[in-house]
Amino acid sequence: MANIAPRMVDSSTEKLAMTITGSTLRPPSVQLDTDAHGDDAPSSVRRGWSGWLAEDISTSSMVPTLILQAFATGILDATTYADFLTFASNQTGNTILLCVAAIGTTTTGMASAGGGGIRLVLTAISLGCFLGFAGIFGHLGHLMGTRRRSWLLLTNIAQFLILFIALLLLVLPSTPLFHVGATHEWLPLALFAGMSGAQVAQARQSGSAELPTAPMTSSYVDLVSDQHLFRGLRDPRAGPRNKRLAYIAVMVGGGMLGAVIHRWAGTGAVVGVTLALKGIVTVWIALLKGDQVSGMKNVAAGAGKA
């Protein structure tokens, strides 16, 4: 009984204080430092770099970056097919090419007419590297948080560096064995495909199914079968339709631009433009406003239950 009385007094005192101040007491573990910056200070100010990196980026905020990445994909795939007769990101086409060759419908060498033909070794390398990098980066995304700023920056910086290495191999005079048509031309293609796999994995995990940044078939079908296909551009129900339209437009536009640049300036210029776009995407993600510090909601919920 002696122990119960002080507890009752403490509880009554706490309730009285809450009634007077009109606020709830916050546990020390989740209380934010607002003395210096005020209650409205952004989480990046309150928690520093760690809080900024831990922020989740909303799907809607990522839409422009995904559209820009799709544009870059169109540019890059135009030159990979022109140079290697295979794709770095369109793995549907590569899979069918391998299946056709496995049955013996086509040959493995270069056709005598016009220097065309299907180079199956490069096609297999592209498919394998695409799947390998997509798997690695996809699982890393699940571990680190698919929309966490730190992961989005890390994966885009990695993609930038992969593309930069491929560019050096293709254009430096000191690396002639890796130039288009040389003995080890497969390595730049492998890097292109690996970068594309990492990019598509990130896009698929972003929560915006309308912007996969590489495949086109499903986007075409989803667009023409959309029940809101003929609604106005500003109709709120036409949001997914608008995303698909933008995606298809930038992919087609990117492919045409890539073909033009490749014809008049060469492979290095195409890869350079793609690299610049990848850099813009990385900076853009760094500047996006986070919708919440990762984990704060769970901590607050746990404190509420306590």
State the DSSP string of 114-180. Answer: TT-B--HHHHHHHHHHHHHHHHHHHHHHHHH-TTBHHHHHHHHHHHHHHHHHHHHHHH-TT-GGGST
Residue 121 token pair: 């070794």
* Mean pLDDT confidence for 128-149: 97
CA distance 247 to 218: 12
Any residues with CB less than 8 A from the CB of 306 and at least 6 apart, and which?
27
Which pair of tokens denotes residue 220?
Answer: 């075409």
Is the pLDDT at 71 greater than 70? The verdict is yes
Identify the burial level of 62 via C-beta atoms within 10 angstroms of its C-beta, where 0-12 means exposed, 13-18 middle and 19 or more buried: buried
pLDDT at residue 112 in the model: 36
pLDDT at 41 over 70: no
Q: Which CATH number fits domain 56-289: 1.20.1250, 1.10.287, 3.30.810, 2.30.30?
A: 1.20.1250
In tens, the pLDDT along 185-227 reads: 999 999 999 999 999 999 999 988 889 888 788 889 999 999 9
Mean pLDDT of 280-305: 68
What's residue 105's pLDDT?
Answer: 63
CB atoms within 10 A of CB 205: 18
Residue 47 has pLDDT above 90, yes or no: no
Tell me the average pLDDT of the chain. 81
For the ranges 104-113, 191-200, 224-233, which has the lowest average pLDDT?
104-113
Cα separation of 83 and 262, whole Å? 9
pLDDT at 107: 53
Angle at 288 between CA 57 and CA 164, to 5 degrees: 95
**According to the model, what pLDDT value does residue 294 have?**
45
Residue 246, pLDDT > 50, answer yes
Per-residue pLDDT for 76 more than 90?
yes
Q: Residue 102: its pLDDT value, please?
A: 79
For position 37, what pLDDT does the model report? 43
| Residue position matching structure tokens 């760094």 | 286
Rounded percentage of the chain residues whose pLDDT exceeds 70: 75
Q: How far apart are CA 126 and CA 281, in angstroms?
A: 24
Q: Which residue has the higher pLDDT, 273 or 14?
A: 273
pLDDT band at 101 (very low <50, low <70, confident <90, very high): confident
The 3-state secondary structure of 178-194, one letter per residue: HCCCCCCCHHHHHHHHH
Q: Which residue has the higher pLDDT, 13 or 285?
A: 285
* Domain limits, the chain: 56-289
